[in-house]
Structure 1
Amino acid sequence: MTDLLPPRSPTDLFGDPIDSQPLWFKKNAFLEENFDSEAYITDLRTFVPFDNLRSELQTHLSSLKHELVELINRDYADFVNLSTKLVDVDGTILRMRAPLTELREKISQFRGSVESSLAALQNGLRQRAEASAAREVLELLLDTFHVVSKVEKLIKELPSVPSDWSNGDVNSTEKGSLQHTENGTNFRETQSMLLERIASEMNRLKFYMAHAQDLPFIGNMEKRIQSASLLLDASLGRCFIDGLEHHDANTIYNCLRAYAAIDNTNGAEEIFRTTIVYPLIQKIIPNSSSQSMAAVSVDELEEDYQQIIEHIENGCKFLLEISSSANSGLHVFDFLANSILKEVLSSIQKGKPGAFSPGRPTEFLKNYKSSLAFLDYLEGYCPSRSAVVKFRAEVVYVEFMKQWNIGVYFSLRFQEIAGALDSALMVASLTPVHNSHSSQGNSGVLTLKQSVTLLESLRSCWKEDVLVFSCSDKFLRLSLQLLSRYSTWLSFGLTIRRTGNTGSNPGFEWAVSAVPEDFIYVMHDIDCLVTELSGDYLGHVIQILASCSPEVLDPVKQSILQGANSLKDLAPLAMNTMIEALVEKSLETLRQVKGVTATYRMTNKPLPIRHSPYVSGILYPLKTFLDGERATTYLTMEAKNKLLLGAAEEITGRYYELTSEVVNVARKTESSLQRIRQGAQRRAGASSDVSEQNVSDTDKICMQLFLDVQEYGRNLSALGVVATNIPTYRSLWQCVAPSDRQNTIEF
């Protein structure tokens, strides 16, 4: 309630009380524990002038001083008694300080004692740790010395086996003295077991050396260790080679475990490559190709791979099965890549370097696919999927795949396939194939060389001896580019046909020089190509890519269908081109309509009773075109009807334009002559009844045109076109028909 504003004075009628404080000034803020004067002033100065803030603070200070004086005056007696009660304060403080000082001294003494004990304890622990570390180092050195001595002792035992044990000529007495009859092990197996034991000790020795390699003692023993390691490698190599030559599974197993123990897998892989694989491969692919120069195809690899597979089955399979046996611990070896594939790659590079050359695409692809099949065969020895992944990640495998430059191969195929189509499209005329003029069994056969080349190029992209499956996306793109190239060729040609100007567009002369019958081939080939692309061709591509996911197959299908639709959209353009060509031929005859005026103007000929001779020639080009061999063979009934109706409508429209022009001119001329005659008769004072009774030249012209239009309607009906269904024919009829026959079309 202390913050309530005082009541307003009687004279303060409209504003705040005269002694009130502004709303932004909060006195309670000074009582907060974290009050910061600078922050307080900074916040207020953003919206309160400094003079107002200073004035308000001074006013508040004055009020506080005033309150303090009031409090002292109100409790003055207690304020005075406060000083009288503070008696002998210094003595009391001294009495309280003595025990506190004594306690502090005791605590200091106890702390010193504890720190001394702690230092002694830490010193003892450090000495104990140093002693323990020294003991560990000593034990490590002793173990190292014992292992080195043990390895040297075991190595000395190796020569105790007769030197001729490897060739199997040891007599029975010697065998009895050296062979353990209880377990039936032979000399090679005994030797391999001893080598495996030495290898395990060498493994321990490497471990010790890794933890004490900086010690002088180890440095002094380094020569002994290196000597033992060299002797072990040599003895292990001889034993492993002998085991390989005799196909001794136990000996090989023990030797491989020894190689794995000393972490020398490369040594075993290299020995197997040089001892077993190299002689086998050299029999098939010698380093010098002089021995095989008599062959027709020196660089073909398919037969070589077949022989290599046979030799692997006979000479390498036993080791591959041993190294891939379950729970053997020999998975660290990769004889497939580092022994077999490495030697095969080296032999091909030296003996048949041309096998990797994409300059001969057919042979290159054959060798590439044979190589993939060979790799698949090698992967068959991998016991698990992880082993296959490891095999493919090996350096030799990656290097082998780099030898096949698929990018260059595709470029050559691109030039070959696209170049063939481009050459066919650059011909100056449409080129029918040999069977184009046959009238039997050609409804689904392409007729133009350009179309045949397109389909052959499209099929070539997916032939087994052309396609590389890993480049399917590139071959799909090439297929779509071929379709686009052909569609553009047709589209531009048909467009240029209308303009008749090929000066700025070389390569499209065929469109101007082609006769209407040639576009029948175009229409037919468009239909055949669309059917092929949407049917067998699409099915063949989808079958090849069947192993792909639906997310891949759906876009492939849609892209091919889109290419077929773009080609299908050109069919109406080809139809219009044929119609325009036929209309132009008919227009040559239709121009004779203008001769009707000359026939009856200023002559005394009677009213015509039969049609003009030119009428029978108006639809002759259209009828001849439809009755021709190409149209009857390659145009479907639907296309024929569309062509017939479109041409009839266009020809009728042109007929109407020419006829209406002739009639309008005749009527204007007749009107002018009539005015001239009437003026002359009035000047002569003669009557005009006689001239009015005669039939005018315009009536004769219209009658002749009416007879011609009737005959034209009969000719349309003969072709199968209902003339009354053509709007321009009805307009043509009304233009020339007598007034009593305007609404009735009969012929």
Structure 2
Amino acid sequence: MADPIPAQAPPRSATDFFSDPLDSHPLWFKPSLFLSPNFDSESYISELRTFVPFDTLRSELESHRAALNHELIDLINRDYADFVNLSTKLVDVDASVVRMRAPLLELREKIEQYRASVDRSLVALKSGLKQRSEAASAKETLQILLDTFHVVSKVEKLIKELPTVPADWSNGDVNVAERNSMSNGISAQHVENGMNLRETQSMLLERIASEMNRLKFYIAHAQNLPFIENMEKRIQSASLLLDASLGHCFTDGLEHRDANAIYNCLRAYAAIDNTTSAEEIFRTTIVAPLIQKIIPHGASTVVAGSSIDELKNDYQQIKQCVEKDCKFLLEISSAENSGLHVFDFLANSILKEVLSALQKGKPGVFSPGRPPEFLKNYKSSLDFLAHLEGYCPSRSAVAKFRAEAVYVEFMKQWSVGAYYSLRLQEIAGDLNSALTTTSLVPIQNINSGQRNSRELTLKQSVTLLESLRSCWREDVLVLSHADRFLKLSLQLLSRYSNWLSSGLAARKKGNAVSSSGCEWAVSAVPEDFIYIIHDLNCLASEVCGDYLGQVLQILSSCSAAVLDSVKLSILHGGKSLEDLVPLVINTIIEALVEKSVEDLRQLKGITATYRMTNKPLPVRHSPYVSAVLRPLKAKGNLKVSRSPFAFALPEVLLEGERATIYLTRETRNELLLGAATEITGRYYELAADLVSVARKTESSLQRIRQGAQRRAGASSDVSDNNVSDTGKICMQLFLDIQEYGRNLAALGVEAATIPAFCSLWQCVAPPDRQSVISL
């Protein structure tokens, strides 16, 4: 016998005196509620959570579960002997199992038989459904074949009602007897209603076309069937007869401008999805003869050489012909709710014939080799296309017209890219030729008194401005390529700026051989750069002013964002010109300083004048001082020369006629102050170096003299009242800078405001006069 199940120890003893009894529970915990048939755990917990914490509730539930497990084990152990002895009480169980198995096997057999029967019924049902579907499909195919046969027969019958000779019905109205002989009751009914034979014919053709449309539908759903293949010849024959008859009727309607007949024919063409034939008939019948008269394209015409003729007059005549002879059909095809929107006579008839005539009669108009004529013809063509678009009833029709293959092919004929390349070479080539000269080229009569300060003075600058304006001239600009011409304008400004900056850099280095195209800057005299400053200011003002306004006016149809970008780019180009003005001013200043330094170097002779001599203290300035600022003064007479830039001496730079006309007062003051500051700085460097050397030399001689006297035992005979050579030199320099300061004041420059002059004053002035600068 198996051992009983060991009982688990209770969580606490029932006789534990220090805790609650085993079966004790809080007042809020009622295990009896768990046995209720309507017990809901969620509602039970939601009721207790208001006053019982979750931890307390969980602990109480776990205690209750442990108690229940303990009780269950106790019950099993209590009746464990009876549970084990249960197997010994089961007598003859195998026999009972055999008895129970027989009816179960019988039931299984019946179920399998029923399942087999159901499977057979299902197979039969599926087979019947399949046969039914095949029958329906065969019936549908048969119905299509029957409908196809009926439609073919109907079409053939209707075609037989058409006149066999176009001349029989192209003459308009005929008598009733003739109509009755050519038509059935339907056509006779139309005749009785007063309709002419042409309109009746067009209505009959529209009906035939609708039947042919049905026939195409049937054939599409019954392809590769022997019946259809056998009827293929009949169908093709009927289709050919329909096309021929429809073409004759449409042609006759166009010649007589029969609106009703044309409308019916167009509906017929639309029904059979053969818009191309209608467009081609209109092109060859109406458009081609008109265009042939305007633009003959025979072999003799091409040889005669009319390829460079302008197209403006030709387009004007074509517009008149379209208005007079083609507008009626365009109005019919574009009528609202007419269903004829599938036709595009503008592109596939009119424009196609015009393109063909131009290619055959005037092929030279598409060549950009002659840019002026090419641009005129291109703009005339755009105007002609815009005129044709005026016949489109809606924006969608315009979009459809522009998307047509003929329209695209027509636009491809105009090589605007090649035209721009030629204009680029032309405009940029002129500027490049002007900038590659070895010297600055003044414009003619630059020295005449008729010129004013607002006009450009150099050919290079004039060429730049002309090139910039050429980019936006009406006879040059292609608005669709405005971005390219804007780019060209900016490139021209950049080319001019680079030419000038490179020349200034080469001049500063003093070598033009290494920089090709910079020879002009090295060979130019300082006066030449006055023209450059003037032209830079004029160009910057023009580019950022009237030129910018002109460009924005031309591009006024663009968006605000595009206009802002264009404005910023052009203003940036103008600013690049303004930024070059300080560089040119510095170049002039450097030239003036170098000229003045040549005279300043004469102060080195002061040392030789007073060293080891008995000359008294100087009482007047040196002669070289008057020549230091000579490049800034207006002295001397004009010197005539063959060169337009050599008519004035360097001595008349800032106060000469050229500077007063072409430089503003602010620029002249800037040049004057800059040159004076630089000259004074160089003056201070030379003088300070001279004084320093003199003092060092005097100190060395003094030590040698004192050593010799000590060795000889003689006392010094030099009185303290005697002035040393260095003192004489400093006094001479002091008198010189006083005169220099007075010369600066005569030019309008206050010497005391120049730091280098103050340093020079402190270096050479006597001790009692160093605190105050007085000239």
TM-score normalised to structure 1 length: 0.85
Alignment of 1:1-150 (within 5 A): 77-78=81-82, 81-150=85-154
User: Which residue of 525, 528, 532 corresponds with 1:522?
Assistant: 532
TM superposition shift of 1:135: 2.9
2: CA distance, partners of 1:712 / 1:259: 103
User: Which residue of 716, 726, 734 corresponds with 2:744?
Assistant: 716
Letter in 1 for 2:93: V
User: Which residue of 677, 684, 702 corresponds with 1:656?
Assistant: 684
2: CA distance, partners of 1:286 / 1:448: 52
Letter in 2 for 1:644: L
2: CA distance, partners of 1:496 / 1:424: 19
TM superposition shift of 1:698: 2.9
Q: Which moved more, 1:620-629 or 1:83-92?
A: 83-92
Letter in 1 for 2:656: G
Letter in 2 for 1:238: H
Q: Could you say which residue in structure 2 is the equivalent of 1:43?
A: none
Residue 317 in structure 1 maps to residue 327 in structure 2 = yes
TM superposition shift of 1:386: 1.7
Letter in 2 for 1:609: V
User: Which residue of 459, 470, 474 corresponds with 2:484?
Assistant: 474
2: CA distance, partners of 1:537 / 1:713: 46
1: CA distance, partners of 2:130 / 2:302: 78
Q: Could you say which residue in structure 1 is the equivalent of 2:397?
A: 387
| 8 Å contact kept, 2:681–2:757 | yes
| 8 Å contact kept, 2:533–2:581 | yes
1: CA distance, partners of 2:671 / 2:563: 38
CA deviations on 1:79-114 (whole Å, 9 max, x unpaired) are: 752431232222222332233233333333433443
Residue 584 in structure 1 maps to residue 588 in structure 2 = no
Q: Could you say which residue in structure 2 is the equivalent of 1:423?
A: 433
| 8 Å contact kept, 1:446–1:525 | yes
2: CA distance, partners of 1:296 / 1:126: 76
Q: Could you say which residue in structure 1 is the equivalent of 2:14?
A: none
2: CA distance, partners of 1:120 / 1:294: 88
Q: Could you say which residue in structure 2 is the equivalent of 1:223?
A: 233
User: Which residue of 368, 375, 390 corresponds with 1:365?
Assistant: 375
Number of matched residues?
684
Residue 633 in structure 1 maps to residue 661 in structure 2 = yes
Change (3 A) 1:718 1:248: same
Letter in 2 for 1:136: E
Two-structure CA RMSD over aligned residues (Å) = 3.0
| 8 Å contact kept, 1:193–1:254 | yes
TM superposition shift of 1:367: 1.9
| 8 Å contact kept, 1:289–1:352 | no
CA deviations on 1:331-357 (whole Å, 9 max, x unpaired) are: 111111111111111111111111111
Q: Which moved more, 1:114-123 or 1:229-238?
A: 114-123
| 8 Å contact kept, 1:587–1:651 | yes
TM superposition shift of 1:687: 5.4
Residue 738 in structure 1 maps to residue 742 in structure 2 = no
TM-score normalised to structure 2 length: 0.82
Q: Could you say which residue in structure 1 is the equivalent of 2:33?
A: none
Structure 2 gap segments, 5+ residues each = 1-5, 12-75, 182-187, 634-651
Alignment of 1:439-450 (within 5 A): 442-450=452-460
2: CA distance, partners of 1:589 / 1:712: 12
TM superposition shift of 1:507: 1.0
Q: Which moved more, 1:573-582 or 1:450-459?
A: 450-459
CA deviations on 1:433-487 (whole Å, 9 max, x unpaired) are: 2253345653322222212222222222222222222222222222222222221
SS in 1 for 2:170: helix
Residue 348 in structure 1 maps to residue 376 in structure 2 = no
Q: Could you say which residue in structure 2 is the equivalent of 1:263?
A: 273
Residue 707 in structure 1 maps to residue 717 in structure 2 = no
TM superposition shift of 1:617: 1.1
Change (3 A) 1:263 1:469: same
TM superposition shift of 1:248: 1.0
Question: Percent sequence identity over matched residues?
Answer: 75
Q: Could you say which residue in structure 2 is the equivalent of 1:506?
A: 516
Letter in 1 for 2:503: G
Change (3 A) 1:518 1:150: same
TM superposition shift of 1:172: 8.9
| 8 Å contact kept, 1:161–1:187 | no
| 8 Å contact kept, 1:144–1:208 | yes
Q: Could you say which residue in structure 2 is the equivalent of 1:241?
A: 251
| 8 Å contact kept, 2:172–2:198 | no
| 8 Å contact kept, 1:600–1:697 | yes
2: CA distance, partners of 1:209 / 1:403: 42
1: CA distance, partners of 2:444 / 2:661: 15
Change (3 A) 1:689 1:198: same
Letter in 2 for 1:88: D
Change (3 A) 1:85 1:433: farther
Change (3 A) 1:183 1:611: farther
User: Which residue of 555, 562, 569 corresponds with 1:545?
Assistant: 555
Change (3 A) 1:717 1:134: same
User: Which residue of 201, 220, 228 corresponds with 1:191?
Assistant: 201
Structure 1 gap segments, 5+ residues each = 7-71
| 8 Å contact kept, 1:435–1:447 | no
CA deviations on 1:346-392 (whole Å, 9 max, x unpaired) are: 11111111111122222222222222222211222222222222222
Letter in 1 for 2:728: K
TM superposition shift of 1:294: 6.8
Letter in 2 for 1:214: N
2: CA distance, partners of 1:607 / 1:129: 139
Change (3 A) 1:393 1:664: same
| 8 Å contact kept, 2:513–2:519 | no
TM superposition shift of 1:427: 0.9
| 8 Å contact kept, 1:355–1:364 | yes
Letter in 2 for 1:447: T
